[in-house]
């Protein structure tokens, strides 16, 4: 029975009809069909660290000053207090629940000038990593 003066849309009347039926299986069936949907979770992509672009890395040269490196790559993610002449640029990307991809670039200084550059083998730009991980 619908209360007087209260309007229900077609969906509201249908739900009231379902739960007021004399068959007790209908509400359990309704809840049983919705319950598995509660376990479906969405896992987001996790991106951390310095976004690395290959153009910037390829233009990085020995002999550059610290200021030039900061202008080119930004501040380093890790600056070791015990090794002030080493800057680490780290980038990690994990597509929702997938495998973690790590990129690591290390710049070594001597007298505030770049003396050596080390990078992960097979290093790619952060944009390439994100595009490769996109789901169809």
Q: Over the stretch 27-66, which tens digit does the pLDDT of each residue have?
A: 777 777 777 777 777 788 888 888 878 888 888 899 999 9
- Angstrom distance (rounded) from CA 61 to CA 85: 16
Q: Catalogue the E-assigned strands of the chain.
A: 46-49, 78-79, 86-94, 101-110, 113-119
Number of separate domains in the chain: 2
What's residue 71's pLDDT?
92
Q: Is residue 3 part of a domain?
A: no
Read off the pLDDT band of 69 (50, 70, 90).
very high
Q: Is residue 102 part of a domain?
A: yes
Residues 115, 58 share a domain = yes
- Give 36-39 contacts, CB < 8 A, sequence gap 24+: none
Domain housing 71:
46-133
Cα distances from 39 to residues 42, 92, 133, in angstroms, run 10, 28, 24
Read off the pLDDT band of 114 (50, 70, 90).
very high
Minimum mean pLDDT range among 22-26, 115-119, 120-124: 22-26
C-alpha of 94 from chain center: 6
Of the candidates 52, 57, 64, the one whose C-alpha atom is nearest the C-alpha of residue 115 is 64
Q: Is residue 58 part of a domain?
A: yes
What's residue 19's pLDDT?
57
- Angstrom distance (rounded) from CA 106 to CA 78: 10
Q: Is residue 115 part of a domain?
A: yes
What's residue 31's pLDDT?
77
């Amino acid at each position: 029975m619908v209360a007087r003066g209260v309007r229900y849309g077609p969906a509201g009347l249908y739900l009231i009809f379902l739960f007021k039926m004399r068959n007790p299986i209908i509400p359990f069936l309704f809840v049983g069909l919705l319950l598995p949907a509660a376990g479906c979770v969405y896992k987001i992509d996790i991106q951390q660290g310095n976004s690395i672009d290959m153009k910037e890395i390829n233009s990085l040269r020995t002999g550059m000053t610290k200021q030039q490196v900061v202008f080119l790559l930004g501040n380093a993610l890790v600056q070791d207090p015990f090794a002030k002449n080493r800057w680490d640029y780290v980038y990690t990307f994990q597509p929702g629940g997938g495998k973690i991809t790590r990129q690591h670039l290390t710049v070594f200084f001597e007298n505030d000038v770049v003396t050596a550059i080390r990078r992960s083998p097979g290093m790619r730009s952060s944009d390439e990593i994100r595009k490769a991980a996109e789901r169809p």
